[in-house]
Amino acid sequence: MSFKIGIYSLEKNSGKSITAAFLAESLATLNQKVALLDVTQDTFLTDFLQIKNSTLNSIKISESTWDYQKIENINNFDSFISKSEKYDFIIVDFPSYTDDNLREILSKLESVIIPIECEFYGLDKLNETFEEILKFENLKVEGLLLTKVDNNNSLVEKIKGFLKDNFSDLVFNSSISRNYYLGLPHFSIENLNHSIPNFGFADYLKLANEILDNRNNG
């Protein structure tokens, strides 16, 4: 049975879609069968992955392959899930807002990853995010993921300290370094995966290993 995990935060620019794409690629690299479902209304992932249609797409960046599907509503989601037995992981990329349709999708997941940007406003929506998650008693928080980590930024240690003090068991050991390349125009997942040194992909590969270890030991 596939494990359904959402990338969820009500904070804008926290790295949700980047995390969804690179986690899918990383899990596939570790021989997991993966599908990424995009329930956002924007075109970030379709542009990022260079996809031109909303049907099921097979993504092949290097040696690994995974599937991508744009999801318009709960009926599309249910239809996909009903035929998803072949996948080990289904990753769901959520927008930075919520509505009844998104809540219904959220209620059908096993867990969520909450990306937290290590910037001035990075914690602003954390309480609201948890309020939404806690509406569903069977929904687990897989972990809090620090993104855009720049060790030259004094805020990083403050945010890390706050999260460790208040959510120690929920903070991933893995974190995602700030990556200059992600801000470049026309940048795609393929560019980063094959650039050297490839710190961005390496960070997400560590995260994928940590998730697999947690599931195997849990």
| Tens of pLDDT, residues 75-108 | 999 999 999 999 999 999 999 999 999 999 999 9
Number of CB atoms found within 10 A of residue 214's CB: 14
Structure tokens at 142: 């897989």
Q: How far is CA 152 from CA 13, 64, 181, 184, in A?
A: 20, 34, 18, 21
* Residue 26, pLDDT score: 92
Amino acid at 55: T
Q: Are strands 3-7 and 34-38 parallel, antiparallel or unpaired?
A: unpaired
Residues of the chain with pLDDT under 50: none
Residue 177 DSSP SS3: strand
* Residue 1, pLDDT score: 78
* Residue 59, pLDDT score: 87
CATH superfamily, region 3-217: P-loop containing nucleotide triphosphate hydrolases (3.40.50.300)
**b/e 179-199 (16+ beta carbons within 10 angstroms → b):** beebeeeebebbebbeeeeeb
* Residue 180, pLDDT score: 60
